[in-house]
Amino acid sequence: MCRSIKTLRPPTTPDVTEEDMHAAALQYVRKVSGFRAPAAHNREVFDEAVDAITAATRDLLSGLHVRGSTKP
C-alpha cells in the first residue's frame, strides 16, 4: 500500500504518540484519496477521515496483545 507508513505496533515502536498515529492516518488518506492536500470544498471530509483513522489506529494499538511483550 504505502511504503512510507512506519510500523507503529509495540514493541517495534514502543512509544507511539498521538502525532505518530495522526501522521500515519494522514499518509493513508492521502494515498487513498490521491490528494496530497485537498481542495477547500473537500477539506472537511478529508480531515474527518484522518480523525477517524487516527481513532481507529488508537483503538487497534490499545487492544493488541503481542506475545512476549510486557503489556498485559
* pLDDT for residue 70 is more than 80: no
Per-residue model confidence (pLDDT) at position 16 = 87
In this prediction, residues 14-32 reach a mean pLDDT of 92
CA dihedral (22, 1, 35, 43) positive or negative: negative
What does the domain layout of the chain look like in residue ranges?
Answer: 18-62
Grid cell listed for 39:
481542495
Spatial separation of the C-alpha atoms in residues 39 and 65, rounded to whole Å: 39
pLDDT tens per residue, range 24-41: 999 999 999 999 999 999
Residue 72, pLDDT above cutoff 60? no
Q: From the centroid of its chain, how far is CA 17?
A: 10
Cis peptide before 11 (omega within 30 of 0): yes
